[in-house]
């Protein structure tokens, strides 16, 4: 297993598309509703590519035999009063690779990179009751609060979200 930062989605676009579709279809709350189309997901990754090019986002992937099995993103705040913080987005692990520590490895590299570039605070949110909450707590994130009926789950049901933060 290799965990690394990548600067472009172009060479692994198909893997990233498969990863996102796998996660949405398994019920992950990552901003998409089922059924999700290839076109919708490809368009999403195209936007990520633009953000990577402009320096507004960092992307970290987990590779197993050169196939993407996980990813996490760090969105950088472009506001002058927020240059010290970043938002953790779309932590995803393929269903076939879950339970192997991939998420913790991705989070570790993302956090060390965030610290190296001078970030002092990371924030994120996840669906209330999601297994991800356990992960975030286990790697040092603190719950800041909850908002009811915040977003639709992949099945379309309104769900609450939980906000977490970590000071680096």
What pLDDT does 156 receive? 85
Q: Is the pLDDT of residue 154 over 90?
A: no
Peptide bond into 43 cis (omega under 30): no
3-state class percentages of the chain: helix first, strand second, coil last, to nearest 5: 35, 35, 25
Domain boundaries, the chain: 2-119
Q: How far apart are CA 72 and CA 109, in angstroms?
A: 10
Q: Is the pLDDT of residue 153 over 90?
A: no
Q: Is the pLDDT of residue 155 over 90?
A: no
Question: H or E stretch including 140?
Answer: none
Q: How far apart are CA 85 and CA 29, in angstroms?
A: 23
Asked if 59 and 73 count as a contact pair (C-beta separation under 8 A), the reply is yes
Q: How far apart are CA 88 and CA 85, in angstroms?
A: 10
Question: How large a percentage of the chain has pLDDT more than 90?
Answer: 96
Asked if 24 and 96 count as a contact pair (C-beta separation under 8 A), the reply is no
What pLDDT does 25 receive? 94
- pLDDT, one tens digit per residue, over 23-76 is 999 999 899 999 999 999 999 999 999 999 999 999 999 999 999 999 999 999
End-to-end CA distance of the chain: 26
- For residue 50, the tally of other CB atoms under 10 A from its CB is 12
pTM above 0.85, yes or no: yes
Considering the domain delimited by 2-119, tell me its CATH architecture: 3-Layer(aba) Sandwich (3.40)
What pLDDT does 23 receive? 96
- pLDDT, one tens digit per residue, over 85-139 is 999 999 999 999 999 999 999 999 999 999 999 999 999 999 999 999 999 999 9
β-sheet bridge partners, residue 111: none
């Amino acid at each position: 297993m290799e965990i690394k930062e990548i600067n472009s989605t172009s060479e692994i676009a198909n893997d990233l598309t498969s990863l996102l579709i796998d996660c949405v279809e398994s019920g992950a709350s990552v901003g998409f509703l089922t059924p999700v189309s290839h076109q919708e997901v490809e368009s999403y990754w195209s936007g990520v590519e633009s953000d990577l090019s402009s320096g507004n986002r960092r992307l970290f992937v987990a590779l197993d035999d050169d196939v993407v099995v996980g990813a996490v993103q760090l969105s950088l705040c472009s506001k002058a009063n927020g240059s010290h913080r970043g938002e953790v987005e779309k932590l995803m692990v393929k269903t076939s690779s879950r339970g192997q520590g991939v998420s913790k490895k991705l989070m570790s590299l993302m956090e060390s990179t965030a610290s190296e570039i001078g970030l002092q605070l990371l924030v994120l949110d996840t669906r209330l009751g999601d297994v991800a909450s356990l992960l975030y707590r286990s790697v040092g994130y603190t719950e800041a609060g909850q908002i009811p009926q915040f977003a639709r789950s992949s099945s379309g049901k309104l769900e609450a979200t939980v906000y977490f933060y970590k000071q680096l």
